[in-house]
Amino acid sequence: MRLLNALAKGIIDKRLMIGLLLASIMIVAFYLRIMPISYGIYLYEYDPYFQYYLTKYLVENGPFSWFQLTKENVRNFWYPIGRDVYKTEYPGVAYIGYVTYMLIRSLFYWVPQDQLLLFTCVILPPIMGVLEVLGVFLICRELLDDRAGLIAALVQAFLPAALDRTIAGFYTKLGFGVTIFLFAAYFLLKMSKSGRIGYAVITGILLGLVAATWGGVTYVAGIVGLFGIVTALLGLNDKRFTKNFVILTLLFLMIASAVPKLGVFYPVSFEGAILLVSCMILLTDYALTLINIKVMNRIFIIILTVIGGISILSIAWWMGVLRIPPIRQLSIVAPWLREINVVFSTVAEHRPMSWDIMMMEFGLITPLMVAGIPLLVLERTREKLFIVLGALTSVYGVSSVAYLIHLAAPFVAICVAVALSSLIDLSIKNLVLPAKAAKRRRVLRIDPALILALFTIIILLLGVSSAMAYSQASTIVPTIANSGIGGLRFKITSWIDALNYMKTNLPEDAVVVSWWDYGYWITVGSNKTSVCDNATLNTTQITLVARAMVSSEDVAVDIIFNKLKTPPNSTYILVYEPFYVETRGGYRVAYLLGGGLSADLGKASAMIRIAGYNFTNYYNEQGLLDWNSESVRNGTLFKLIINGLESLGYTPVQGGNIVEVERLVHFELERAFVGVGPDGATTVIVFLYKVIPP
């Protein structure tokens, strides 16, 4: 009560109150994102293991060792070829982790290096999530005011989609890239509003950092370039904006060209060319204003310039001068291209997101976003135009590729805040102004009872969305801790045990063949060599592994030893699967689960597709694996799992029928790692076999 009285008397500064509220929101956001560490300090998913590996390499070899990551030195990925990491990976996340670790190291020098480094990589994503909350606050405050900024920060803190890449352990590029992009967007808006060259310099540098961190730089450069073009088309350009836009573009391209993965020819890449064309259009538009060309004529000339720019880009692409984005990026804009890259199209997060799932990820307040966009459009300012472009393009991207949900989350939060803030203003005017004054000022009259009902509904929706975010955060289990079975909400250590065993018991020159999903786990977690991994760089090698998995043993062994050229006496193959186990009639029965609670058997369809084999040889009319089919009974993957079960004393069953396959000849079970859930029935088994040369 004293606090309220003090505030009313102006004793407590308004900025202090806003700071306290924002700090409270950021603390709650951080708490939500670190909840998975209740299961232990683990990295989440697969890609973070590779980023951890790179960060550890920098810590052990110094900040200038990045260029030593050549395929001659990095032989434990993509055997037998190796990987030119410095040319095929963005260095940003690893360097952010390295700098953060070195700072923390000076404070906690007594903690063992590996423990402190792992903790650093696990805790950095939640910090990025908190910075995203700060970013949307700053952007929304720049667009409207502090109140709108606080609403946007609150929404971002609890939005399920915003948790996606910022939970503890999700040490990967997208979360870091989006965070940097948000601050680049903030300074871009400041530049647009004030015209100061300093903001242009900061924006260009931050965009360059995005280019060093995240493959989504294609989107970022594209949206900034589109912003410049639309600004000219709508007649919103001026001298200072043109000058600053050219400066930030040149800075961005200069930094991006220094990133080895992008290269010195990045300015003639698709996104680099879009930015240069945008500069050309803005300069043309400004030149036309200097000779007093009328607005409509100017816009007509700009349209012709845009068409000319597109024609030039098309000719440059046809001549091979312009480097277009890879199919996986182009398919975001044109989803029908997705089928060209079979490996890419089989990954769940690269598929379109259904509208019901999108609604759940964005929360029940999503309709307010739809109201926020037209409110921004009506203002017709450059700053609000940028947010509209970002919202529309990012939501379209999510509808095409699911993993972009995290990119869209900040724009959704900002648009929701704009709609809510406008609704609050309208309500205050209705409740405070007398009817005659409201009519004189042309304020839309709304019944106070309706206002009360509307805000009650909004508060309920915000409460439900917050509860959904809390529920999601509290039930997230680090992927390695539940052995990669997404539907399991408890810890099960099959994979952890398998990696520890391989690290200490397999020969140093051991090569482990597995499906590409687990490549990073094997190489980084067990310090053993893998033949393919989550980078999916070599589709030819992935195709070979797919054929080895779903073909007969003879074909599999030929591929493993003759095409993958693995060492004859140190080659292993790993498969795994979850089961529901119970004892019936004196037998231990292992039920094959299928569906979402599946692992390699669930991925068999993708393996068959990538291998180029006929589905009907493996699946029945109901879409289930046909265990009576000769292709399944003799398929290496299926034999490894079923023979492995039988060697452990389990009777494999699916759909009430005992599953039978042919006996293994060229594979000898090295070890099975059995993890049992708290219900005593849910079981995940990792099978590690040694491959015997024919």
Read off the pLDDT of residues 243-294 as tens digits, 9 standing for 90 and up.
Answer: 999 999 999 999 999 999 998 888 888 888 889 888 888 888 888 877 777 7
Which has the closest alpha carbon to 363: 160, 553, 172, 549?
A: 160
Task: Among 374, 404, 422, identify where a domain stops.
Answer: 422
Contact 160, 206 (CB under 8 A): no
Task: Tokens for 296, please give them.
Answer: 């409509």
Could you tell me which of 287, 270, 276 has the C-alpha nearest to residue 248?
276
Helix (H, G, I), strand (E, B) or coil at 127: helix
Q: Do 162 and 33 have their domain in common? A: yes
Same domain, 391 and 504: no
Closest CA to 27 of 166, 174, 127, 147: 127
At residue 533, φ and ψ (nearest 5 deg) are: -150, -170
Q: Are residues 516 and 370 in the same domain?
A: no
Residue 7 lies in a domain: no
- Positive or negative torsion for Cα 113, 118, 121, 126: negative
Per DSSP, the three-state class of 551 is: coil
d(CA 355, CA 333): 17
- Same domain for 498 and 418, yes or no, is no
Q: What angle is formed at CA 500 by the lines to CA 494 and CA 505, rounded to 5 degrees? A: 120
Same structural domain for residues 80 and 167? Answer: yes
Mark whether 523 and 403 lie in a shared domain: no
Distance CA 543, CA 549 (A): 10
Give the per-residue pLDDT at 11: 47
Q: From CA 436, how far away is CA 441, in angstroms rounded?
A: 9
412 and 499 part of one domain: no
Domain region containing 119: 13-422
**Domain end call among 422, 441, 458:** 422
How many folded domains does the chain comprise? Answer: 2
- The 3 state secondary structure assigned to 556-591 is HHHHHHHHCCCCCCCEEEEEEEEEEEEEECCEEEEE
Same domain, residue pair 368 and 499: no
Give the tokens for residue 326: 């890879």
Residue 381: closest CA among 247, 246, 237: 237
Q: What are phi and psi of 592, to 5 degrees?
A: -75, 125
Do 534 and 399 belong to one domain? no
- Report, as ranges of residue numbers, the positions in the chain whose pLDDT lies below 70: 1-12, 295, 313, 316-358, 363-364, 427-458, 461, 463-464, 595-596
DSSP state of 490: S
pLDDT for position 281: 85
With respect to residue 292, please indicate whether it lies within any of the assigned structural domains.
yes
Write down the pLDDT at residue 300.
74
Q: In terms of domains, do 416 and 502 share one?
A: no
Cβ atoms of 387 and 376 closer than 8 Å: yes
Q: How far is residue 413's CA from residue 443's CA, in Å, rounded to a whole number?
A: 26
Residue 625 counted as domain residue: yes
Helix ranges, 108-233 (H): 113-143, 146-158, 160-163, 173-194, 197-211, 217-233
Query: Domain ends where: 392, 422, 452?
Result: 422
Q: How far is CA 345 from CA 217, 336, 403, 434, in A?
A: 21, 10, 13, 60
In-domain check, residue 470: no
Instruction: Please choose, from the candidates 312, 305, 317, 342, the residue with its C-alpha nearest in 3D space to the C-alpha of residue 327.
Output: 342
Q: What is the pLDDT of residue 369?
A: 77
Residues 505 and 413 in one domain: no
In-domain check, residue 448: no
544 HSE (CA, 13 A, CB side)? 18
Residue 431 lies in a domain: no
Q: What is the pLDDT of residues 525-563, one digit of tens each?
A: 999 999 999 888 888 999 999 999 999 999 999 999 999
Same domain, 378 and 520: no
pLDDT at 34: 93
Q: Does 453 fall in a domain? A: no
Residue 681 domain flag: yes
Sign of the dihedral defined by the CA atoms of residues 457, 463, 464, 469, in that order: positive
User: Is the distance from CB of 529 to CB of 79 less than 8 angstroms?
Assistant: yes
Q: Which residue matches tokens 């004793």?
A: 11
